Structure 1
Amino acid sequence: MAFEYTVKQCAQKLGISATRVHQLIKEGMLPAEMIAGRYFVDEDAVEARAESLPSPGRPPKRSKEDPRFFTLMNRNHEVFEFVYDNFSDEFTEVTQIIDPSRAPLGLMSPQGKKVSLSALTYWWKHRSIPLSRSGMEAKLATLGLSDPTRLPFKSLGLSLSDQYWIRPKEMNLDWHSINYFKNTFPEMLSGDWLEQVGLESPDNTSEGQLPKRWVRIDGVPALIKGGTSLNQEPYNEIAATCLYRRLLAPEDYVSYRLELLPDGETVSLCEVFISDEEEYIPAYYVMKAKHKAMNCSTYQHYLECCSRLKVENAEVALAKMIVTDDLLGNTDRHLRNFGLVRNVETMQYRPAPLFDTGSSLLNEKTSGALASGDLSFTTKPFHDDPNQQLRLVSDYSWFNANALEGFAEEVEQIFALNLALEQRIPYIKQLINKRIERILVISS
């Protein structure tokens, strides 16, 4: 949450008077903080209100209220109480803040006195399956729902990425008896990836485009993921695991392996990477820890936020991520695909292990592009040019160049397991060797 709009700027944005802005603040319609005797208004809330303004000459849309009252919980810690309108599918009010320190990063005002409803809505949206995932529109139709954001309510918002859940006001529930880390949940019985969606399942809160399901392996929650047309993504995850094993410590990465489903589909599988006392915090929210100074790069701002949160070894963790992503040609290290892990009892942070490298090794290149010699790729999150992003790395003390010997050949063996990738293997090996040469020059 960014409390950066002055009352004057807010009035100009909304086309109302400063007096009206003060009235909206007093009524709780605009989250604001008093800093040095002046009100500063939540920028996200202002933008959301501006977008919802009715067209000239038309009355504002009103809905029949069907409110439900909940408490946002973090394990058994009460965080804040809120109201959700079932009819309009909206968070309408936060009625009481109880423990702001355990709220999701980015939702609270700097002084912990306000919750931005727009930020809460955004956070909840990314706690839901995206509508763009294959089969979701048809699945929602069978459930009688119009939007995926209703799905987490089916399982109290429980996830295997953190410890947050929603407790209905009328229910007396205990986190220990309902969480998915320790308690069983339905698993896949067929080849339908969305089979358990809409039931009491952690699949209701699984983010991302690729087909995926939560299962249990020897009692431990594990995520299985499929791929697209050539099914290269699961093999990319295995290639990344092999690279990480060569260069990094076990705590630095999530280990993947291949599994064969009963219907013959090959998928990747990884065990849950947090404990039942931890939460994964994407970089998007980490960067809400402090105001971004003008002319400060995204890279530097992220490090400053980690420093504010007293995270150790954040810069080395970024170095490992940037270098290994470069060697893999990873094109999708966006701000939700890396971050921190926070222990919700001790409130201590650590860099999250590296995960989700399915969009790597030229998997989005057409056969024609590869045949023409196009091995280019763009990078995230700090620069779209891989060479420019590599220049951010200054510490190679962890890097062992000798460990890369034979890596391209190891990837070749992995990809040979998928006959659909046979013609792509020479280009993938060429990319790996090219990036290895580049890394060796820079790191020496």
Structure 2
Amino acid sequence: MKTLLMHKDVPVLEVAEDGTCRILEPKLLPVGIRKPDVTLADYYGVWLSNRAIQLGRTNAKLILNSLRLPQTNSIAVCEACHALNLTDCYWIRNEEEALNWHDINLYCNTISKSLAVTALLGESLTEHEKIRTPELTTQGISAKAWIRKENDLYLYKIGRREVPASQILDALGIEHVNYYVVEGEELKEVASDDKQEQIELWNEKVVKSGLITSEERSLVTFEDYKYYCESQGRDPFDEILKLDRTHYLQMQVADYILNNMDRHTGNWGLFMDNRTGALMRLHPLMDHDHAFAKMNKIYSQTTGRHMTLQEAAVIAQSELHLDVSGLFDMEKPELLTQEEWDQVQARGAALQRLVPIYEEFLREGSDVNIEMLEKMDRWTKLLHRKIKVSEFQELSAAETAESIGTGLC
């Protein structure tokens, strides 16, 4: 029996029983497999298997066990829910199924609230009939769940850091997904008193954000965009800069200020126009529940070459000249510790100091790295005045000679 990969009601790929793939609508293929020849390995390995819930996600095993689904077969998990999610408008059906997008999609049909509570809080599932849910294809490892409130869908998750990250990005004027603390009667609707007490003991909060996709626009992860670019022999980072330079550079500044250690290829990317399949721009920043890390040196996962978050931010800010004064005008976010807030402001201040130094090196045509910038910054503080690149080079040479003379290097 043939399987059809659908985009709403448009079949875009046909997969035969013998594994042969036939492209039906090339412009609407998922971006990760949008190429002239799609193989079975592309369909299963690049697209379908990556849609299933990750076993490392909090409560994932409970979700799968409750629905009697295998933990080791992501294909079976996707087939059980027709691979539907709330990221895009793709789904699968076999050729004999009389199903259409209107009747099956998650955007406008009822979704299981009982399974949402299982996904968010680890409560036992109270319904066991065939249910409609986005939880089998929602990515990430934090406890989370989609819940419909009136006519809108919200992602609820456990993670206090999302809210102060939102407040800081507001102050910086960087586009992002807004998160809010869930409390009062709304919290009682999803969490028992015992669960609320447990969450407080963890020093966490239930937070929520609105859905940013729709039947008109989808999300394309950078991971999928990377597959797409590489299949055409193009550098994905070069292409992103051409497509949306400003928001890409803002992401570098945001991740450094937030000290975000979890920006990876699956939680940033682009909007796609669902009518045409055209890629639009970077979607708002999201997924900051691993921000405010205590590590001093975090390496970027969003740059073409190996560099720290600080280096990436300095380079980006030298072009953006983003106004970061709002960071120093705002009050400490309630959900941050004083230590976390002090570190945020220290990173903001460091960015203000290092960017002019970096720009001076560029004007002089000198090679520069972050260690040189930090050293020049230290000497500026010690000498209580601004120093030029030429003076820095003389001081560096003298320091090196002294170190050699004393056997320190």
Q: Same fold (TM over 0.5)?
A: yes
Q: How many residues align?
A: 329
Residue 253 of structure 2 contacts residue 312 of structure 2 at CA under 8 Å; is this kept in 1? no
Question: Residues 280-308 of structure 1, C-alpha deviation per residue, up to 9 Å, x if partnerless?
Answer: 111112123334999x9xxx64232564x
CA RMSD in angstroms, aligned pairs only: 2.8
TM-score by length of 2: 0.72
Quote how far apart the aligned CAs of 1:324 are: 1.0
Residue 188 of structure 1 contacts residue 213 of structure 1 at CA under 8 Å; is this kept in 2? no
Note closer, same or farther for the CA distance 1:209–1:384 as it changes in structure 2 (3 Å cut): farther
The corresponding residue for 1:410 is: 332
Q: Is residue 242 from structure 1 mapped to residue 170 from structure 2 by the alignment? A: no
Note closer, same or farther for the CA distance 1:335–1:178 as it changes in structure 2 (3 Å cut): same
Quote how far apart the aligned CAs of 1:318 are: 0.9
- Identity percentage of aligned residues: 21
Quote how far apart the aligned CAs of 1:153 are: 1.8
Note closer, same or farther for the CA distance 1:346–1:397 as it changes in structure 2 (3 Å cut): same
Question: Residues 54-110 of structure 1, C-alpha deviation per residue, up to 9 Å, x if partnerless?
Answer: xxxxxxxxxxxxxx53210111221011147xxxxxxx614421012111113143x
TM-score by length of 1: 0.67
Note closer, same or farther for the CA distance 1:203–1:102 as it changes in structure 2 (3 Å cut): same
The corresponding residue for 1:304 is: 239
| Matched letter for residue 258 of structure 1 | V
Out of 312, 320, 323, the residue aligned to residue 389 of structure 1 is 312
Residue 146 of structure 2 contacts residue 154 of structure 2 at CA under 8 Å; is this kept in 1? yes
Note closer, same or farther for the CA distance 1:141–1:237 as it changes in structure 2 (3 Å cut): closer
| Aligned mates of 2:28, 2:266 — CA distance in 1 | 20
The corresponding residue for 2:290 is: 359
| Matched letter for residue 77 of structure 1 | V
| Aligned mates of 1:134, 1:262 — CA distance in 2 | 16
Quote how far apart the aligned CAs of 1:400 are: 1.7
| Matched letter for residue 380 of structure 1 | Q
Alignment of 1:112-123 (within 5 A): 112-118=36-42, 120-123=44-47
Q: Is residue 277 from structure 1 mapped to residue 207 from structure 2 by the alignment? A: no
Higher strand share goes to which structure? 1
Q: Is residue 225 from structure 1 mapped to residue 157 from structure 2 by the alignment? A: yes
For residue 253 of structure 1, give the secondary structure of its aligned residue in structure 2. Answer: coil
| Aligned mates of 2:116, 2:3 — CA distance in 1 | 34
Alignment of 1:68-87 (within 5 A): 68-83=1-16
Quote how far apart the aligned CAs of 1:401 are: 2.5
| Aligned mates of 1:322, 1:390 — CA distance in 2 | 5
Note closer, same or farther for the CA distance 1:73–1:290 as it changes in structure 2 (3 Å cut): same
For residue 160 of structure 2, give the secondary structure of its aligned residue in structure 1. Answer: helix
Quote how far apart the aligned CAs of 1:375 are: 4.5
Note closer, same or farther for the CA distance 1:375–1:287 as it changes in structure 2 (3 Å cut): closer
Alignment of 1:27-426 (within 5 A): 68-83=1-16, 93-109=19-35, 112-118=36-42, 120-137=44-61, 139-142=63-66, 143-149=68-74, 150-188=76-114, 191-193=117-119, 195=125, 199-226=131-158, 234-248=159-173, 252-259=175-182, 260=187, 261-263=190-192, 264=196, 265=199, 266-291=205-230, 301-304=236-239, 307=242, 311=243, 314-348=244-278, 349-362=280-293, 365=294, 375-382=296-303, 383=306, 385-393=308-316, 396-397=319-320, 399-407=322-330, 409-411=331-333, 413-415=334-336, 425-426=337-338
| Aligned mates of 1:137, 1:147 — CA distance in 2 | 10
For residue 316 of structure 2, give the secondary structure of its aligned residue in structure 1. Answer: coil
After superposing on structure 2, the runs of 4+ consecutive aligned residues of structure 1 that deviate more than 6 Å are none
Note closer, same or farther for the CA distance 1:376–1:394 as it changes in structure 2 (3 Å cut): closer
| Aligned mates of 1:324, 1:389 — CA distance in 2 | 10
Quote how far apart the aligned CAs of 1:236 are: 1.2
Quote how far apart the aligned CAs of 1:385 are: 1.6
The corresponding residue for 1:30 is: none
The corresponding residue for 1:35 is: none
For residue 325 of structure 2, give the secondary structure of its aligned residue in structure 1. Answer: helix
Question: Residues 412-442 of structure 1, C-alpha deviation per residue, up to 9 Å, x if partnerless?
Answer: x233xxxxxxxxx132022112101122124
Quote how far apart the aligned CAs of 1:174 are: 1.8
For residue 19 of structure 2, give the secondary structure of its aligned residue in structure 1. Answer: strand
Note closer, same or farther for the CA distance 1:138–1:272 as it changes in structure 2 (3 Å cut): closer
Which protein shows a greater Rg? Answer: 2
Note closer, same or farther for the CA distance 1:358–1:392 as it changes in structure 2 (3 Å cut): same
Larger RCO, structure (CA 8 Å, separation 6 or more): 2
| Aligned mates of 1:397, 1:293 — CA distance in 2 | 30
Question: Residues 329-376 of structure 1, C-alpha deviation per residue, up to 9 Å, x if partnerless?
Answer: 1001111111100012033312111110111112xx5xxxxxxxx655
Question: Residues 17-45 of structure 1, C-alpha deviation per residue, up to 9 Å, x if partnerless?
Answer: xxxxxxxxxxxxxxxxxxxxxxxxxxxxx
Note closer, same or farther for the CA distance 1:398–1:93 as it changes in structure 2 (3 Å cut): farther
For residue 276 of structure 1, give the secondary structure of its aligned residue in structure 2. Answer: coil
Question: Residues 180-205 of structure 1, C-alpha deviation per residue, up to 9 Å, x if partnerless?
Answer: 11222111478522648983211111
For residue 318 of structure 1, give the secondary structure of its aligned residue in structure 2. Answer: helix
| Aligned mates of 1:138, 1:218 — CA distance in 2 | 27
Structure 2 portions without partners, runs of 5+: 200-204, 357-409
Structure 1 portions without partners, runs of 5+: 1-67, 85-91, 227-233, 366-373, 416-424
Quote how far apart the aligned CAs of 1:220 are: 0.8
